[in-house]
Every structure is written in structure tokens, then in C-alpha cells.
């Protein structure tokens, strides 16, 4: 039996209600070459981890035929923060699973890289974008000051003392914090807590983007979305004719549409002829190629308005990715505290996504109407069947969110 439980919860909210402009910042020249190399290595690892985790989520029996939406960035942040308190084989497994198995990449390098990423993200208005962590500790639990300092300095953590034996009160405290950080989008992060919990580590990300070119609300019309050959659903389609950056990837028969936000972030919509072919082949190199070789031309597009929520337990997926010891008696989390045998009880993730005319923050199904004007053919890219979405930072190349929309009106 384990004496104490450590809960790790990851929440993400993608929202698009507002209209405030914000602009990304790009640091340059103020870091030495070694730090730049470490940051580049961590971003590269984050990208690979994003697709590995996506494929695990997509293949899981519980998710067959369902929408998938999550923040790989937020999961990486939480597990990297945990690795700061892990030692021995447990830390090696975390680093390997996250892709940090470069022998030159130390925990300090990882911590500094995430500090840089989070700092850049938080340079935007907090009403639009905020990212960080929080740690809730039982009043009787005494973690090392050094561990808490790393969380605060590198992972922008806030710390709180709670009494986990008062399971309802402590859950309410955590849920209120989660709701505040996601502007009410995630109101109930935890249903109940194990009274043996001594520490609860949370990663959150809130992103609200405004389209660089917003849709006109009066052009939104009811249309059909083909979930599969035997099922169609009605959706509210937003329509626009404009110049868009696009790419058609012939080997995987996938059309790619680039929709920039009024910031350093962009949404990529991927419309495959066959979803399984796309999912099996997709890797970070595809996105790098698309962004480099996209061409601008005039299109008529239609993107559905929708809101989705997702909730996952990631234990099984992370174990499959080699992060096994942290969940059992072999867990070595002695960098967090001494005296108590710690293990991770659950790694969970929640995410929300809203897309409307003003902005979006994650996905867009695009059903496009065909228009002919004065003998000029306006091509069509019709997102009226299942598609994938990726939200990426054009400055760093890191992926904040990704998923697939199988049914834009499904709960």
C-alpha cells in the first residue's frame, strides 16, 4: 500500500469570445547558445510528444469515433514540473517519455526551457492568454523548499496549503482555482479527492484568440456536417471568401488551411480523404513543411461554430509511453519530500474549445460554399467531414493544442 498519493491534473481552456488585440513577443539575443540549444531541444521533444500522445488518445477504446481535444503543451508542463522532484529511474522514465532523453539535456536545462516558454506565453494580456501551474499541499506535508522554488521560478507555480482529509473543502478550493484560471470554462476539475492525497499538482493554460480576419456574423448559415456515411448533423457554418494560405499534401491526401490569430498563434485545419491515413502518418515534419511551403490564394470557406469539452485520464497512455514507475511502489519522488513514500495516483486532463465568428482557439470544421465571380473560379476547401486541428506558436513552433473534430455538435 502507498502511504500518500500525489494527484496531477492538467486543465486547458480554449476560448474565443473576446476581441482584444494582442501581439506575440519573440526574445532574441539575450540567451547564450547553450540555453538556445536546450530550448530548441525541448520544443522539438514537445512536438514529438504531442503526436505520440495524440495517437495514444485516438487509439484508446473509450475515444473511438469521438472528438479529441487536448493541450500537449499543458501535459508536458505538468510532467516536466513533476520530473523536477523525481529521481533515479522515475526521472529517467519521465524524461524519456517526454522526449528529453538527450544526454546533454539536464533537469536544469528542462526547467529553464519551460520558464522561457511560459514567460513568452504570459507576456500577452492575462485576459487573453495565461499559462502556469499550481501546487496544493496538505498542511501536514513538508516538501523541500528547493522543489517549491523550482516550481515557482520555472513553472510559474502558485502554492496553497489545504487539508486533504477534508475532501469536499479541498476539492472546492481546487475547483474554484481552476474555474478562475480558465475564466469559468472548467468549473469542476475534480469530483472527489482521496484523503490520502498529500499534494495536488495542476497545470493550466487559457488561450483566447481573435481571428486576424474575423467572419461576418450575418453570413453564418445552417449547413450539414457528414459525421460518417450514415450520419449527418446540422451545424451553424461561418462563411468567408478571402485569400488563405493553403497546402495539399499529396502522399497523405490531406488539404491544409492556415487561419492566423491576431497574435503569434495560428490554427491549422487538416482535412484528410481518410482520417486513419492522416493519423498514422502525421509527424512534426509535416507541419514544418506545410508552414514553409504554403501558398496564398483565394478561397471560399465555411467553418462551423461549436463548443466541445473533453476529459481524459492519462494513466494508461503514459504507462504505454514508458512512464510506469511513478504510478506504483517503485516511484522515486524523493526530490519532493523525505519521510513519506510518494506515488502518482492519477494524471488527468480537461480541455474546452469554443469557435465563433470573432475568434477561436482550437478547431474549425470548414464547409465551403462554391462561388463563381465574373468567370473567375474560386476554389473550395470543404471541411464538412471529420478533420484535425493544431494550434501552433509561429515564433517557437511549439504546439499548444491539438485534436480532431468527428462531430462538431457532440457533447
pLDDT at 131: 83
Q: Which tens digit of pLDDT belongs to each residue from 186-198?
A: 888 887 777 778 8
Q: Which tops the pLDDT comparison, 3 or 173?
A: 173
* Mean pLDDT confidence for 361-389: 47
pLDDT at 5: 40
pLDDT at 281: 92
Which class for 150: exposed (0-12), middle (13-18), buried (19 or more C-beta within 10 A)? buried
Q: Which CATH number fits domain 4-209+308-353: 3.40.50.2300, 3.30.497.10, 3.40.1010.10, 3.40.50.150?
A: 3.30.497.10
Q: First and final CA of the chain: distance in angstroms?
A: 38
pLDDT at 18: 33
pLDDT at 362: 31
- Give the CA-trace dihedral at 83, 85, 86, 88, to 10 degrees: 120
pLDDT at 21: 37
CA gap 277, 279 in Å, rounded: 6
Phi, psi of 86, deg, nearest 5: -95, 160
pLDDT at 259: 92
Q: Any idea which of 254-263, 372-381, 386-395 has the lowest mean pLDDT? A: 372-381
Q: With a cut of 50, say whether residue 383 has pLDDT above it.
A: yes
Share of the chain above pLDDT 90, in %: 44
Phi, psi of 145, deg, nearest 5: -60, -35
pLDDT at 283: 92
pLDDT at 23: 37
Q: With a cut of 60, say whether residue 324 has pLDDT above it.
A: yes
Instruction: Kindly state the helix (H) or strand (E) to which residue 8 belongs, with its residue range.
Output: strand 4-15
Q: Any idea which of 9-18, 170-179, 233-242, 315-324 has the lowest mean pLDDT? A: 9-18
pLDDT at 206: 84
CA gap 97, 91 in Å, rounded: 10
pLDDT at 22: 36
User: Helix 72-83 vs helix 88-98: angle between axes, to the nearest 10 degrees?
Assistant: 160
Predicted TM-score (pTM) of the model is 0.86
CATH homologous superfamily of 210-305+358-405 equals Alpha-1-antitrypsin, domain 1 (2.30.39.10)
Domain spans, the chain: 4-209+308-353, 210-305+358-405
Q: With a cut of 80, say whether residue 71 has pLDDT above it.
A: yes
C-alpha cell at 166: 477534508
User: Which residue from 256, 219, 224, 259 is spatially nearest to 239, judged by alpha carbons?
Assistant: 219
Grid cell 499534401 — which residue?
249
Q: With a cut of 50, say whether residue 114 has pLDDT above it.
A: yes
Q: Which tops the pLDDT comparison, 235 or 207?
A: 235
Amino acid at each position: 500500500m502507498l502511504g500518500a498519493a500525489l494527484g496531477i491534473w492538467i486543465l486547458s481552456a480554449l476560448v474565443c469570445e473576446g476581441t482584444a488585440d494582442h501581439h506575440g513577443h519573440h526574445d532574441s539575443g539575450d540567451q547564450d547558445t547553450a540555453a538556445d540549444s536546450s530550448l530548441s531541444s525541448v520544443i522539438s521533444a514537445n512536438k514529438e510528444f504531442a503526436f505520440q500522445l495524440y495517437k495514444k488518445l485516438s487509439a484508446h477504446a473509450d475515444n473511438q469515433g469521438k472528438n479529441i481535444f487536448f493541450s500537449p503543451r499543458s501535459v508536458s508542463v505538468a510532467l516536466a514540473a513533476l520530473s523536477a522532484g523525481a529521481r533515479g529511474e522515475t526521472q529517467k522514465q519521465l524524461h524519456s517519455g517526454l522526449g528529453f532523453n538527450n544526454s546533454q539535456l539536464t533537469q536544469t536545462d528542462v526547467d529553464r526551457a519551460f520558464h522561457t516558454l511560459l514567460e513568452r506565453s504570459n507576456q500577452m494580456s492575462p485576459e487573453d492568454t495565461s499559462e502556469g501551474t499550481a501546487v496544493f499541499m496538505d498542511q501536514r506535508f513538508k516538501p523541500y523548499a528547493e522543489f517549491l522554488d523550482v516550481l515557482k521560478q520555472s513553472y510559474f507555480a502558485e502554492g496553497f496549503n489545504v487539508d486533504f482529509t477534508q475532501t469536499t473543502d479541498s476539492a472546492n478550493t481546487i475547483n474554484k482555482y481552476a474555474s478562475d484560471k480558465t475564466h469559468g470554462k472548467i468549473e469542476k476539475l475534480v469530483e472527489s479527492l482521496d484523503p490520502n492525497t498529500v499534494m495536488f499538482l495542476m497545470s493550466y493554460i487559457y488561450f483566447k484568440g481573435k481571428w486576424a480576419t474575423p467572419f461576418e456574423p450575418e453570413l453564418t448559415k445552417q449547413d450539414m456536417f457528414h459525421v460518417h456515411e450514415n450520419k449527418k448533423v446540422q451545424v451553424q457554418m461561418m462563411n468567408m471568401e478571402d485569400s488563405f494560405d493553403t497546402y495539399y499534401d499529396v502522399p497523405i491526401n490531406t488539404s491544409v488551411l492556415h487561419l492566423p490569430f491576431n497574435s503569434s498563434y495560428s490554427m491549422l485545419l487538416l482535412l484528410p480523404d481518410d482520417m486513419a491515413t492522416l493519423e498514422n502518418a502525421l509527424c512534426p515534419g509535416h507541419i514544418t513543411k506545410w508552414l514553409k511551403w504554403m501558398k496564398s490564394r483565394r478561397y471560399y470557406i465555411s467553418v462551423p461554430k461549436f463548443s466541445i469539452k473533453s476529459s481524459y485520464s492519462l494513466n494508461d497512455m503514459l504507462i504505454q509511453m514508458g512512464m510506469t514507475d511513478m504510478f506504483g511502489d517503485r516511484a522515486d519522488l524523493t526530490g519532493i519530500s523525505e519521510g513519506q513514500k510518494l506515488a502518482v495516483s492519477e494524471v488527468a486532463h480537461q480541455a474546452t474549445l469554443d469557435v465563433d465568428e470573432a475568434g477561436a482557439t482550437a478547431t474549425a470544421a470548414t464547409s465551403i460554399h462554391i462561388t463563381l465571380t465574373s468567370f473567375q473560379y474560386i476554389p473550395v476547401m470543404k471541411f464538412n467531414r471529420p478533420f484535425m486541428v493544431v494550434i501552433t506558436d509561429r515564433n517557437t513552433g511549439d504546439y499548444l493544442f491539438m485534436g480532431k473534430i468527428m462531430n462538431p455538435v457532440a457533447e
